[in-house]
Amino acid sequence: MKLSGQRIIVASNRVPYNIVKSKSGIKYKKSVGGLVTAVDPILSRNGGLWIGWNGSKGHDRDFEKRIEVGREKGKVGYALKFISLSSTEIKNYYHGFSNRSLWPLFHGFICQSHFDKDYWRFYRKINNRFANNILEEVTGGELIWIHDYQLFLTPEALREQSDRDLKILFFLHIPFPNYESFRVLPWDDQILRGLLGSDLIGFQTQRCAFNFLECCKKILKLDVDFKSKKIFYGDRKVEAGGFPISIDFNHFDNMAGSKKTDRYLKRIKSFGGEARVVMSVERLDYTKGIKERLSAINRFFEKYPEYRKKVVFLQISVPSRTKIKEYIELKKEIDELVGNINGRFADELWSPVHYLYKALPQEKLAALYRISDVCMVTPLRDGMNLIGKEYASCKADGDGVLILSELAGSADELSDYSIMVNPYDIEEVADSLHRALCMDLNERKMMMSGLRNIVRKNDIYKWASKFLDYYNNII
């Protein structure tokens, strides 16, 4: 599938591969997360360049040269170009402004947001560095596709530093807050102007696009057409819209049926016994509702004691932002919650909660999706959340139930075939798990069939085509 005749340059905070140095050399392992899941397949099939931080501290000569990735199984592959960050820059730009200022604010956790002028100064500095590195690669006619909240200022920086007619797209993977929340940010106007360097700004939902338009109108006093979603900015028109992101359905469907996944599945079944499996998987983050979900699991075993020894809850938490105070404290709280639930309900041969604090290979995760009777996706706030789509894509047998938060962006697409919950309502989540486990096979298959059809018809390539076609129609 060719998305356009133009070369694509993608820029994001991190390159989509974790890079590990060892005595045997440098190894590259594909990262997890929504951005990588969504964009890596596009560049692997169509080629291009991905620019991002390599994840290490300081300048490293091993990362001066580009590398080619994604060429497996006959794919074209693409190049990686690395951005270096010092320890001080990581502390202020990444851990600071990106993840202690913007991340909590944009997810509705205003009280956890920290606004520091040094954070902001480094954020501007690194966004300019990204812009410089992008411009070094521009020869003319490329599509520059910038991703996510770490690079809000990069579009404007590109315009300021180049006299070329640049083609700039931006996609935000997290929610965009409403005006009342966003105005709390001391640099709200500068963030908006940074984004308005783009030609097209994509959001996960139409609601987020509306929030952005409203902020442009009320904070910058710009002329905004809410019907056509246009912002009139100087002599340019900038467009915004909702483009719900997705996954590569065929990749997950095929992987779930692979021999490697089958081997994992046999091992899991040999240890799992006859208990029914309820699972959740996500990065360890306070926006994901892990504490609230564990409280609901505790309430479930308390309220429905007949399910003790018959159900196990598997929580997979991928380590994330391990140097940030809030995340260190969150891990301790979750460890204690898991210990308390198991201490209260476990017996010699059964523990209600199995907790894995690690990233898993995709095939092993696919095997767990296949064996799970219920998947709980209950974030307190999420731009999209692709776990429910991955789960459905791996359930070729059609037997499984998705419990989904009303506050996830994916709820707009998947609500008709999921059990919808308010993640803050512990009683409702516990009762919804009971409902899922009581559901008969015909209803389970009807709901899973609906989910699979939605994800199959609206896969990552449909998302990319829609986003890029929209852009081509406005230029």
Tens-place pLDDT, residues 144-174: 999 999 999 999 999 999 999 999 999 999 9
CB-count exposure of residue 74 (10 Å: 0-12, 13-18, 19+): exposed
Q: Is residue 16 part of a domain?
A: yes
| pLDDT for residue 5 | 61
| pLDDT for residue 1 | 47
Same domain, 259 and 233: no
Residues found in the chain: 475
Same domain, 291 and 189: no
Same domain, 370 and 275: yes
pLDDT tens-digit series, residues 78-126: 999 999 999 999 999 999 999 999 999 999 999 999 999 999 999 999 9
Same domain, 228 and 353: no
Q: Is residue 272 part of a domain?
A: yes
Q: Is residue 179 part of a domain?
A: yes
375 vs 17, higher pLDDT: 375
Q: Is residue 1 part of a domain?
A: no
What does the block give as tokens for 159? 């315009």
pLDDT tens-digit series, residues 119-134: 999 999 999 999 999 9
| pLDDT for residue 57 | 84
What does the block give as tokens for 377? 């996706």
Q: For position 122, which CATH number holds? A: 3.40.50.2000
Same domain, 228 and 268: no
pLDDT tens-digit series, residues 370-381: 999 999 999 999
Same domain, 236 and 268: no
Cα separation, 417 vs 414, whole angstroms? 6
Same domain, 385 and 470: no
Q: Is residue 3 part of a domain?
A: no
| pLDDT for residue 35 | 73
Q: How confident is the model at residue 69 (pLDDT cuts 50, 70, 90)?
A: confident
Same domain, 168 and 271: no
Q: Is residue 434 part of a domain?
A: yes
pLDDT tens-digit series, residues 267-279: 887 666 789 999 9
What does the block give as tokens for 402? 């998705």
pTM listed for this prediction: 0.94
Q: Is the pLDDT of residue 308 over 70?
A: yes
Same domain, 82 and 116: yes
- The domain total for the chain is 2
Domain range enclosing 327: 249-458
Quick one: which of 181, 216, 246 has its CA closest to 467?
A: 246
407 vs 35, higher pLDDT: 407
